Amino acid sequence: MGPLAGKVAMVTGSGRGIGRAIALKLAGAGAAVVVNDLDDGPAAETLALIEKLGSRAISCNGDVAAADFGDRIVAAALSGLGGLDIIVNNAGYIWNTTIQRNTDEQWQAMLDVHATAPFRILRAASSHFRASAKREAEQGAMVQRKVVNISSVSGVYGSATQVAYAAGKMAVVGMTNTLAKEWGRYGVNVNAVAFGFIETRLTQSFDDQPAEIEVHGRRYKVGFPSEMAKEKYAQISLGRPGRVEEAAGAVYLLCLPEADYITGQVLICDGGRL
């Protein structure tokens, strides 16, 4: 048993990195978890780790930016795990360049994954949240549910070469603030966490050639040159990048019952860089 026992959580992009750490953190606190990744292999690894913790889990894999994905993953949670209490919109990737080189395709891809995908998931969940709140009110019960949207300090403060990514990450802040106002009457807390430099494959440092990730058959360069990374880390009050477990901790805080009166907030998790 744990503080989230009996809860059902959904974490997109949870096959790797921060998403996996969030899924494991919530599962360790007793929640059942819907895992998602573009690829079946990483999702299966996360499922196995959750099961070792003694929690239930299912996967709903695929592209969060697909038009039908929001409906599909919400239906998977309700049919496969019997409910939906926590949504963490985490899936995403970076595709950086200066604005003069930024294509329409690049712009739209960043908005699709970072803003439209969370919108569709939350729209799909709205019927469940509203119906559950009405039923619980009739029974004299009060149940708080949680939404945590993952943003970035690039969205909140801006970052060179990330105009599309930053736009998508700031859009999710506006979505967070709006739904906090709409869904308060349904007992849903809607918050966001904006990450700074967290150690993942997207922020790794390199000496010669950058690493690459593959999304839909396209390869993207990720990470920072070692010297640039050292400069950025020197600006962090804690003197280092964050670990994925620490990033997960920030999300976990907003999922706890102790956060039942916190909504419409953006928690900056950046080690004091800004």
Catalytic residue among 93, 165, 186, 252: 165
Residues 6+ apart with CB under 8 A from 148: 86, 87, 88, 89, 191, 192, 193, 251, 254, 255
Position 265, amino acid:
Q
> What residues contact 273, with CB distance under 8 A and at least 6 apart?
153, 196, 197, 232, 235, 236, 237
165 is catalytic: yes
Instruction: State which amino acid sits at residue 138.
Output: E
Between the alpha carbon of residue 205 and those of residues 17, 51, 127, 191, the distances in Å are: 15, 33, 43, 30
Q: Count the neighbouring beta carbons within 10 Å of the beta carbon of residue 126.
A: 16
Phi-psi region of 144 (alpha: psi -120 to 50; beta: other; left: phi over 0): beta
Residue 29 — φ and ψ, nearest 5°? -90, 5
3-state secondary structure of 140: coil
First to last CA, the chain: 37
Q: Which residues are catalytic?
A: 165
